[in-house]
């Protein structure tokens, strides 16, 4: 699955998956807010080149049958959100709503060419 996010004029896209080896506490557990699922994004394109090749660690929960809340770390910051209350410089939170049963047609995002 391809995930694209755009916040504050920055964007990144990547493949969703799970990285149980990243973001673990000292005791080896993965802590997320109660009732949450885990989803991580391996970034393969972004508006900021330092995000490319990094992973964004995320947690989510369903707020309704067609809505969910997602909090994900800045790519390369291996911390999971412990609350959905607010965004911070290292974690951004989004409310997402289902708009269709089928995935939207993909469109290419502009990718800056390296010099």
pLDDT tens for each residue of 47-99: 888 999 999 999 999 998 888 888 999 999 998 888 888 788 888 888 887 77
Give the domain ranges of the chain: 2-97
Q: Which two tokens stand for residue 57?
A: 């660690």
DSSP 72-88: EEPTT-----S-SS---
The answer on pLDDT for 25 being more than 90 is no
What is the spatial order of strands in the sheet that 10-17 belongs to? 2-7, 10-17, 37-46, 55-64, 67-73, 91-97
Q: Which two tokens stand for residue 38?
A: 């885990």
Distance separating alpha carbons of residues 11 and 5, to the nearest angstrom: 6
Identify the bridge partners of residue 80 per DSSP, sorted by sequence position: none
The answer on pLDDT for 111 being more than 50 is no
Please give the pLDDT value at position 57.
Answer: 94
Mean pLDDT rounded to a whole number for the chain: 81
* Continuous H helices in the chain: none
Identify the bridge partners of residue 104 per DSSP, sorted by sequence position: none
């Amino acid at each position: 699955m391809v995930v694209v996010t755009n916040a504050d004029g920055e964007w990144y896209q990547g493949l969703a998956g799970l990285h149980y080896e990243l973001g673990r506490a000292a005791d080896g557990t993965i802590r997320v807010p109660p009732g949450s699922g885990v989803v991580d994004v391996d970034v393969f394109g972004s508006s900021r080149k330092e995000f490319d090749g990094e992973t964004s660690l995320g947690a989510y929960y369903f707020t309704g049958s067609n809505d969910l809340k997602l909090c994900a770390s800045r790519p390369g910051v291996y911390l999971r959100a412990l609350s959905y209350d607010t965004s911070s410089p290292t974690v951004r939170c989004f409310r997402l709503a289902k708009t269709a049963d089928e995935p939207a047609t993909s469109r290419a995002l502009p990718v800056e060419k390296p010099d």
